[in-house]
């Protein structure tokens, strides 16, 4: 059985002092031994959040990283820096990074490989626009993303990473893919991994759903056989995140 993983993506929210306060507020609400819980926080919040979460069940993730080890890359943060600061997970290829900052699959492939090399667990994002869904090319598009982003990555490493399916049309819009739509694509991603690698790798990799996950729909989504948790945006900044994490109680 794959252990569920529920990660909060704070995006560009929370000053360091606000982040510490939120950790304190959520501390007793996100206790669930059946679930791996991760807060993916802005870079400036990483050190205070790591300190605030010591002794809890929550791990810390970053929202982005660069693939170079060090050098003249003003404003970027390396995988080694994240690892040394206490980070265990890193979001790679979120649709906002792909869209606003024009990150392509060749770049993301380098980031995935560097994260793995540094001992970080990538949360690799993929997803389609509303236009692509209406054109009927959802799985073609996502399969291309997965194959490109994981090119040259070993099966043993893929088995340990996390893939997050986020339909772009459902991020921050209040719209949610139906449970059947989410399960269909997450199952399609698993089938793609089996095609590239093997059945054991496909069965091991954890696949999240992201896109307006909330306390009301979490239990239904996470009950599906191919949905192994969620990448949660706005709802991760509220006390309701505890209800999402404790969906099974």
Which residue is catalytic, options 63, 96, 128, 166?
Answer: 166
CA-closest candidate to residue 94, choices 115, 65, 72: 65
Residue 195 annotated in active site: no
Q: Are 167 and 123 in contact (CB under 8 A)?
A: no
Residue 82 and residue 90 in contact, taking contact as beta carbons nearer than 8 Å? yes
Instruction: Give the pair of three-digit tokens for residue 68.
Output: 């170079």
Nearest to 78 by CA among 87, 12, 146, 9: 87
Kindly report the backbone phi and psi dihedral angles of residue 117, in degrees, each rounded to the nearest multiple of 5, phi listed first: -60, -35
Q: Which residue in the list 63, 94, 96, 103 is annotated as catalytic?
A: 94
Specify whether 94 is catalytic.
yes
List all residues 6 or more positions away from 103 whose beta carbon is below 8 Å from its beta carbon: 93, 97
DSSP letters, 199-228, are: HHHHHHSEEEE-SS--TTTHHHHHTSTT--
Q: Which residues of 143-168 are buried (b: 16+ CB within 10 A; e: fewer)?
A: bebbeebbeebebebbbebbbbbbbb
Helix (H, G, I), strand (E, B) or coil at 22: helix
Enter the DSSP assignment of 3.
Answer: P
CA distance linking residue 122 with residue 46, whole number of Å: 16
Could you give the residue numbers annotated as active site? 94, 166
């Amino acid at each position: 059985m794959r252990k569920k993983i529920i990660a909060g993506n704070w995006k560009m929210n929370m000053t360091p002092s606000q982040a510490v306060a939120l950790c304190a507020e959520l501390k007793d609400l996100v206790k669930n031994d059946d679930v791996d819980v991760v807060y993916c926080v802005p870079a400036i919040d990483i050190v205070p959040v790591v300190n605030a979460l010591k002794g809890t069940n929550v791990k810390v993730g970053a929202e982005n990283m660069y693939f170079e080890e060090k050098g003249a890359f003003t404003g970027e943060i390396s995988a080694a820096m994240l690892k040394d600061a206490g980070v265990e997970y890193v979001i790679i290829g979120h649709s906002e990074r792909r869209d606003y900052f024009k990150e392509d699959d060749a770049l993301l492939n380098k980031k995935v490989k560097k994260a793995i090399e540094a001992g970080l667990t990538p949360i690799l994002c993929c997803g389609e626009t509303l236009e692509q869904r209406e054109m009927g090319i959802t799985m073609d598009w996502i399969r291309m993303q997965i194959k490109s982003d994981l090119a040259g990555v070993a099966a043993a490493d893929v088995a340990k990473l996390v893939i997050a399916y986020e339909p772009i049309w459902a991020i921050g819009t209040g719209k949610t893919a139906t449970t059947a739509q989410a399960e269909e694509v997450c199952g399609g991603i698993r089938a793609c991994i089996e095609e590239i690698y093997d059945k054991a790798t496909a069965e091991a990799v954890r696949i999240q759903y992201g896109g307006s996950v909330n306390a009301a729909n979490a239990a239904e989504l996470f009950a599906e056989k191919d949905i192994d948790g969620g990448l949660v945006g706005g709802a991760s900044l509220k006390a309701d995140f505890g209800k999402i994490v404790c969906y099974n109680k």
